Amino acid sequence: MSNDITTIELHARAAIDAAGDPAALDAVRVALLGKTGQVTALLKSLGGMDAELRKSFGAAVNALKNALAQAIEQRRVELDAAALTARLGAERIDITLPARPVLRGSIHPLSRTMEELTALFGAMGFTVKDGPDIEDDWYSFGALNIPSHHPARAMMDTFYLKAAGRNRPMVLRPHTSTLQIRTMLEQKPPIRVIVPGRTYRSDHDATHSPMFHQCEGLVIDRDITLAHLKGCLVDFLRAFFAVPDLKARFRSSYFPFTEPSMEIDIAWDRKTGVIGAGSDWLEILGSGMVHPNVLANCGIDPREYQGFAFGMGVERITMLKHGIADLRSFYESDIRWLSHYGTSPLAPVTLHEGDA
Partner 1 sequence: MKFSLSWLRTHLTTDASLAQIADTLNDIGLEVEGIEDRGAALAPFVIARVIEAVPHPNADRLRVCRVDTGSGEVGVVCGAPNARTGMTTVFAPPGTYIPGSGITLKIGEIRGVASAGMLVSAREMALGEDHDGIVDLPGDAPVGTPYAAWAGLDDPVIEISVTPNRGDALAVRGIARDLAAAGLGTLTPWNAPAINGTGASAIRWQDDFTEACPWILGRTVRGVRNGESPAWLKQRLESVGLRPINALADITNFFTIDLGRPLHVFDANKISGGVLTVRRGAGERFRGLHGKDVTVTGDDCVIADEAGVQSLAGIVGGAATGCDGTTTDVFIECALFDRVAIALSGQRSGIFSDARQRFERGIDVSLLPAALDAATAMVIALCGGEASAVTEAGAEPAWQRQASLRFERLRSFGRSDVTPDRAVGILGALGFTIAARDAAGVTVDVPPWRNDIASAGFSAGSTLDQHADLDPDQAMVVREGARAIEPEADLIEEVLRIEGLDRIVPVSLPPLTTVPTPSLTPRQARSVRARRVLAARGMAECVTFSFVDRATAARFGATPDSLTVANPIAADLDQMRPSPLVTIARAAAMNAARGFGDLALFEIGPGFRNETPAGQDLIAAGLRCGATPLSWLAPSRSVDAFDAKADAFAVLQDLGVPLEALQVSATAPGHYHPGRAGTIKQGPKTTIGSFGELHPSLCAALDLPAGSVGFEIDLGAIADPKRRRKSAPDISPLQPLRRDFAFVLDAGIAAEAVLRAAKSAERGLITDVTLFDRYAGDKLPAGKVSLAIAVTLQPKDKSLTDSEIEAVSAKIVAAVSKATNATLRG
Site for partner 1 in 191-250 (CB under 8 A): 192, 194, 198, 200, 202-204, 210-211, 219, 223, 225-228, 230-232, 234-235, 249-250
Q: Which of 9, 116, 216, 263 binds partner 1 (CB under 8 A)?
A: 263
For 56, list phi and psi in degrees, rounded to 5: -70, -45
Q: Which of 58, 260, 269, 321 binds partner 1 (CB under 8 A)?
A: 260
Q: How far is CA 356 from the centre of its chain?
A: 10
- Give the Cα separation of 91 and 85 in Å (integer): 10
Least distance in Å: CB of 90 to partner 1?
A: 21
119 contacts partner 1 (rule: CB under 8 A): yes
Which residue lies nearer to partner 1 by CB, 36 or 279?
Answer: 279
188 contacts partner 1 (rule: CB under 8 A): no
Which burial class, exposed, middle or buried, applies to 81 when counting CB atoms under 10 A from its CB (0-12, 13-18, 19+)? exposed
Least distance in Å: CB of 278 to partner 1?
A: 16
Q: Which of 188, 251, 270, 322 binds partner 1 (CB under 8 A)?
A: 251
Sign of CA dihedral 184, 185, 188, 193: negative
The span of 21-29, 39-47, 75-83, 128-136 binding partner 1 (CB under 8 A) equals: 128-136
> First and final CA of the chain: distance in angstroms?
90
Q: Give the footprint of partner 1 on residues 267-306 (CB under 8 A).
A: 289, 291-293, 295-304, 306
Tallying the residues shown for the chain, one arrives at 356
Least distance in Å: CB of 79 to partner 1?
A: 35
Please report, to the nearest 10 degrees, the dihedral formed by the alpha carbons of residues 298, 299, 304, 309 taken in order.
Answer: -10
Q: Which of 51, 102, 206, 325 binds partner 1 (CB under 8 A)?
A: 102
- Give the Cα separation of 29 and 75 in Å (integer): 11
DSSP letter, residue 105: P
- Whether the CB-CB separation of 41 and 30 falls below 8 Å is answered with no
Q: Give the footprint of partner 1 on residues 49-88 (CB under 8 A).
A: none
Least distance in Å: CB of 162 to partner 1?
A: 5
Least distance in Å: CB of 275 to partner 1?
A: 19
